[in-house]
Amino acid sequence: MAHPEPPTAVEVHQPQPISVHPPAVPVAALQTHAVPTIASIVLPDGRVITGYAINHAQPEPVAVKPTVSRAAVNVALGGVGFLAVCGGLILLTSFIAALTALIAQLITLAAVIFGGWIAVQIFSGRGHQGGTTVNIRKAVIKRNHFYG
């Protein structure tokens, strides 16, 4: 006959209290108005653990931002539009002033070049090169015609 095995010793663990320091900020207890549900869990070795289900704290809802009035939006957009128009008018005025100055400088340049060309033609001593020279002192004037 086989001898039965002696029963194995069972280790019993007693819970040890944890020393907790009081928090710097008091924690407000969550007041739930409903009775918490009881949940049971079956472990792989067959034991059943029953306890209260923990409901996770729900984050506070995000504060709803106040809506912006349509009048404020219209005023802001009108101000932006007004500034854009003013800026455009300033740019247009500057462009017109610059264009006027450019035209005046081009006219002055043309007058200087043309006047210089005329001065060169009058005061050049090249003699008769294809042009007609009239010596007014020696000319005889008869009936609006010059005879030289």
Which pLDDT belongs to residue 47?
87
| Whether the Cβ atoms of residue 135 and residue 148 lie closer than 8 Å to each other | yes
Which pLDDT belongs to residue 8?
65
- Residue 106 identity: L
Task: Please tell me the distance from the alpha carbon of residue 124 to that of residue 112, in angstroms, as a whole number.
Answer: 17
3-class DSSP state for residue 142?
A: strand
Q: Angle CA(60)–CA(51)–CA(11) in degrees, nearest 5?
A: 130
| Whether the Cβ atoms of residue 134 and residue 148 lie closer than 8 Å to each other | yes
Q: What is the pLDDT along the chain (148 residues), one digit of tens a residue?
A: 556 666 566 666 666 666 656 555 555 555 556 666 777 788 888 888 887 767 677 888 888 787 888 899 999 999 999 999 999 999 999 999 999 999 999 999 999 999 998 888 888 766 555 555 555 665 655 555 555 5
Which pLDDT belongs to residue 3?
61
3-class DSSP state for residue 56?
A: coil
